[in-house]
Amino acid sequence: MLTIPIYDTILLPDVTFYFKKEVIEDWNVEELEVGDVIAFAMLREDIDIDAATLEDIYPIGASARIDSIDAEGNVKVRTIERISIMDLTRDADGTIESEVVSRPEINDMDADELKERFEKLKSKFLKFVQNYQWGLWARGFILQWKNVNELACSMTGYFSVTWEEKYEIVEVDSQKERFELIEHMCYSFMELADVAENAELEQQARNESIYREDAIKKQIEILQRELDEMHPENISDVRRFEMAITESGMNEIAEKEARKVLNRMKQEGQDGHEYGMLYDYLDFVTSLSWKNEEYVPIDLNKAEEILDKEHYGLKKVKSRIIQQLAVMALNKKQSGSILLFVGAPGTGKTSIGQSIAEALGRKYVRISLGGVRDEAEIRGHRRTYIGAMPGRIMEGMKRSGASNPVMVLDEVDKLVRDYGGDPSSALLEVLDPEQNNSFTDHYMNVPYDLSNVLFVCTANSTDTIPEPLLNRMEIIEFPGYTATEKFQIAKKHLIPKAMKATGIRRKNMTVTDTAIKAIISDYTMESGVRGLKKQIETVMRYGAVQLVKGNNEKISVKPANLREFIGHRGISHDIIDKKSIPGVVTGLAWTMAGGEILFIETKTVHGSGKITITGQLGDVMKESVEIAISLVKDMYPVETRNISKYDLHVHVPEGAVPKDGPSAGITIVTALTSLFTGKAVDPRIAMTGEISLRGNVMPIGGLPEKLMAAVRAGVKTVYIPEKNVEDLEDVADEVKKELKIIPVKKIKEVIDQVM
Ligand code: ADP
């Protein structure tokens, strides 16, 4: 019999099947005619009909008659009976023929009972589908079932049992057993579907309540906001912080911590004794800027203009700053190398930092690190401490109100290392681009991104800055100003600013050029312009009083009346009126305040060859003095033969930076020589240079500062080590013009010339 293997359907008698034309085409059958009887065999798995063999099919199938073929070629068949398929052969054209034997079922069920139970099952189905959206469609489908076999064949796809178990429905011979099998599968199907439906309904209900809760919360929020707007004075701290946290844009970790603290604050209530601490914390973190500031292109020409507008001179410094900005512009970055401005007080280090911020259109914040001795001052105290506070860095960030300010860290050379930990190592972390994108202040306890901050450090000297910190920074030197530069700074910047600050109009007061010069030379003695600024402000304040009292309509400040304004006597230039005394020689030192002159004094008294050093002490100084004595004994054996009958006293005024100690070497030798030979040295001759045991003059540091100090003090001639001649390039022409500078290689050259 012509045999068609089919998959995914069970075959029972008295069931109508419809096959679409496309399916029929797969059967490889030449022609089908109404009335043809064919066999259907059930495939065990989904394989190609062309490849199917006897092993691939279940032993029992069904015979069927073709009922009709419509105009499009779709076929309707009705099954007749169950058959056993004994053998398969494949014809040359690919069609399958098989040997079949009919397999009658055992009619062990009463026809009425069968009908009754079938109708009951059907009505159960009809009731079941009512609860579903697709129920209407399913109803039409169910009403078409004429017998339980039709029900089984159309429902097989929905039974959640294995294919083998489904085949059992076909296999059983007993009508009753089959019915029970089908019934059982139908009930479990409906049961399962109901459980799933219930679960789904429950989930839906749960979701609905979540949505509802959200909606209610939103509604409350809106109403609360409206109320807040109506009565801003009534907004509770908790509410305010809740809003501030949401709006701050803080990172996930920070937000989690803030909400945790907020919850504690809620529980604590206003009277709780931790309330204040929690309040402070939230107030702090919500006032920080958490925004990721966009990079704004840098306009170098404008930057140059701004730097020039605010600061006179400083050509080298400005060009180095512009280079830095150019590198940042090329990298499209908000930060770059960390600049370290080194120079005496009042040389413009901090204020140019402010100009950089202005040039970049960014916020400016200054943090003073002078005297910071506790690591916690940089990195904050843990909140477990009573009175814990954030560190200065984060406190500065808060003050700046931005996440990318220009931050000037003032006086990094004045950090102190002691029992409180090492603040410089904390600072290192702040400045390290590898780490500072998640800087964690102990107080905040959550990371904050400092990588967009442009750091600028200032120091008076690099001596006390720890090496690792120094290595991170690019040093830019601020050498101090000459008298001419100071004059220009006063005229162009300090006086106009001071006038503005005191509210004095230009037409009411003038300071003559000669008066400005007099303030510089007679009332200040410094590398920078801080003192000058103070004196000018004093002059302005006095002028303001005069103007308000109406004593004068127009005030003119001249050298003649300067003292009236400043109120005290100028600095006396003791060099000028200092007499030449044997044993006293003028030296030059490099101090925190820039350069300075100093007098090295030596003296002998009757005694037993004891050596006393006063003023600047330490091993370095002791060594310098010992070398000097050896040299002098060597050069002047006659003059120094009685030295053991005297006590020698050497006084080197302190103040110089420790590193500069040895540079007094040639001055000490000269002073001792002068003492023993009794020949005085003109105080207007100054000198600086380290000395070797052989009498060689060795190079020193800080030459520009020292020479400027010499000019300020009225020195006329300066001896410098020959090896420092190169440094003269950095010395202002104006200074070189004022001084006779004599480079020397040997101490003997100095002694021969000055005595
Ligand atoms: P520093 O930080 O080096 O101690 P500041 O930046 O505080 O010095 O400068 C002190 C004062 O002198 C400031 O008011 C500053 O504006 C002014 N000042 C310093 N250098 C200049 C300069 N080159 N041109 C104009 N003003 C200057």
- pLDDT tens, residue by residue, 345-385: 999 999 999 999 999 999 999 999 888 888 888 999 888 87
pLDDT band at 716 (very low <50, low <70, confident <90, very high): very high
- Could you tell me the distance, in angstroms and rounded to a whole number, from the CA of residue 414 to the centre of ligand 1? 19
Total Cβ atoms within 10 A of residue 581? 15
Residue identifier of the C-alpha nearest atom 22 of ligand 1:
311
Q: Which two tokens stand for residue 296?
A: 């704004």
- Could you tell me the distance, in angstroms and rounded to a whole number, from the CA of residue 493 to the centre of ligand 1? 9
Give the whole-number percent of the chain exceeding pLDDT 70.
97
For the packed helices 275-287 and 392-400, what is the interaxial angle rounded to 10 degrees? 60
- pLDDT at position 282: 92
Which region holds residue 503: left if phi is over 0, alpha if psi is between -120 and 50, else beta?
left
Please say if the pLDDT value at position 573 is more than 80.
no
- Could you tell me the distance, in angstroms and rounded to a whole number, from the CA of residue 542 to the centre of ligand 1? 23
Tell me which of 318, 486, 533, 706 is the catalytic residue: 706
Using the Cα atoms of residue 620, residue 626, residue 627 and residue 629 in order, give the sign of their dihedral.
Answer: positive
Tell me which of 63, 624, 663, 674 is the catalytic residue: 663
Chain centroid, CA 546 distance in Å: 53
Residue identifier of the C-alpha nearest atom 18 of ligand 1:
348
430-456 exposure pattern, b = at least 16 Cβ within 10 A, e = fewer = bbbeeebeebbbbbbbbebebbbbbbb
Reduced to 3 states (helix: H, G, I; strand: E, B; else coil), residue 446 is coil
The finding on whether 312 has its CB within 6 A of some atom of ligand 1 is yes
- Could you tell me the distance, in angstroms and rounded to a whole number, from the CA of residue 324 to the centre of ligand 1? 21
pLDDT band at 326 (very low <50, low <70, confident <90, very high): very high
**Residue 706 is a catalytic residue:** yes
| Interval 649-669: pLDDT, tens | 999 887 666 667 788 899 999
| Ligand 1 atom at minimum distance from 341 CA | 3
The finding on whether 383 has its CB within 6 A of some atom of ligand 1 is no
Which run of H or E residues covers position 486?
Answer: helix 483-489
Task: Report the pLDDT averaged over residues 679-685.
Answer: 92
Task: Report the pLDDT averaged over residues 567-577.
Answer: 65
Task: Report the pLDDT averaged over residues 674-680.
Answer: 92
- pLDDT at position 233: 67
Q: Are 681 and 687 in contact (CB under 8 A)?
A: no
Q: How many CA atoms lie within 13 A of 579 on its CB side?
A: 2
- pLDDT at position 298: 86
The finding on whether 479 has its CB within 6 A of some atom of ligand 1 is no
Please say if the pLDDT value at position 554 is more than 70.
yes
What own/partner pairs with CB < 8 Å and gap ≥ 24 does 631-634 have? 631/669, 631/691, 631/693, 631/695, 631/747, 632/669, 632/672, 632/673, 632/676
Give 364's contacts (C-beta < 8 A, 6+ positions apart): 353, 354, 357, 358, 400, 405, 406, 408
Please say if the pLDDT value at position 548 is more than 90.
no
Give 112's contacts (C-beta < 8 A, 6+ positions apart): none
The finding on whether 342 has its CB within 6 A of some atom of ligand 1 is no
Using the Cα atoms of residue 460, residue 466, residue 469 and residue 474 in order, give the sign of their dihedral.
Answer: positive
Residue identifier of the C-alpha nearest atom 25 of ligand 1:
311
Task: Report the pLDDT averaged over residues 105-110.
Answer: 89
The finding on whether 400 has its CB within 6 A of some atom of ligand 1 is no
pTM over 0.85: no
Burial label for 429, CB within 10 Å (0-12, 13-18, 19+), is: middle
Please say if the pLDDT value at position 81 is more than 90.
yes
Strand runs (DSSP E) across 142-238, as ranges?
none
**Residue 663 is a catalytic residue:** yes
Task: Report the pLDDT averaged over residues 469-490.
Answer: 89
Which run of H or E residues covers position 649?
Answer: strand 646-652
- pLDDT at position 235: 64
Lowest mean pLDDT among 156-165, 402-411, 535-544, 676-685: 156-165
Q: Which two tokens stand for residue 99?
A: 């040997």
According to DSSP, the β-strands at 406-410 and 697-698 are: unpaired
- Could you tell me the distance, in angstroms and rounded to a whole number, from the CA of residue 318 to the centre of ligand 1? 14
